[in-house]
Amino acid sequence: MTNRDSVRKKSTIQESSENFVELVTNNRLKKLYVWMQKFPYPEYRDTSIGFSVINLVPWVLCYGYLIFIINIVRRVIEEKTNGSKELLKMMGMTDCTYWTSTFMNYFIIALITMFITTIIYKVPMKNAVVFLKHTNFVLLFIILSLFMASLILFCLAFSIFFNRPVLAIIALLQQRSFLVCYISLPSGTLMLCGHGNRVFQGHSISYLQGAIGVVLNETMAKR
């Protein structure tokens, strides 16, 4: 049997199966509609060029845990410099146990704060305003917990390259400042980054024009 005969036989079987299903169901099969949406899904997809409550979410996550990550880096480096880590190794603790215990120590605290943050995002505020109205509570909590886990792991990896807590904190603040610069971009620039073909102030722009606008905005901000 050749490949052409095999394909023809399979198509015949498929067509016969479809005819049988239509015969049994009297051709009353329901149509399936598949759709997708972004997550997290705020109350309003498109915010205005001015101030919006949705824009506060990355600011809260960035500034709210600044002291938290500084404390992680400072403690790990101090334990390395004052000999506490070597003392624990002499008592039989392995590196895997040390890093796991340090991670779990801060991750449990982060879970509590993330649970409170999730409640704040889901509970109606003044005038029945909800930050993330159409977002599932459990799924939002899982995503925020994964974010905190990655942030703690980043701090643990970041502390390896330093032997002095002061220098590590300065470098960490510098890294966070660069991150805040991108979060603090004007809403128009964020629109250029994410929606290149959208209409901005009445003019249609391309992805290339949007990228040039972002670069020029960053250059002028540094000056």
Of the chain, the end-to-end C-alpha distance in Å amounts to 74
Residue 63 has what pLDDT?
A: 73
**Residue 189 pLDDT > 50, yes or no?**
no
106-110, 119-123, 170-174 — most confident range:
106-110
Could you tell me if residue 34 is left (phi over 0), alpha (psi between -120 and 50 degrees) or otherwise beta?
beta
Residue 218 has what pLDDT?
A: 44
**Residue 205 pLDDT > 60, yes or no?**
no
Instruction: Report pTM.
Output: 0.56
Per-residue pLDDT reduced to its tens digit, 132-187: 777 788 888 898 889 889 888 988 888 888 888 787 778 777 776 666 555 555 44
Rounded to an integer, what distance in angstroms lies between the CA atom of residue 89 and that of residue 93?
5
Backbone angles phi, psi at 200, to 5 degrees: -120, 110
Q: Which residue would you say has higher pLDDT here, 94 or 15?
A: 94
Q: Which residue would you say has higher pLDDT here, 54 or 15?
A: 15
Can you tell me which residue has the tokens 């020029």?
216
Q: Which residue would you say has higher pLDDT here, 58 or 82?
A: 82
**Residue 206 pLDDT > 60, yes or no?**
no
Half-sphere exposure of 144 (CA within 13 A, CB side): 27
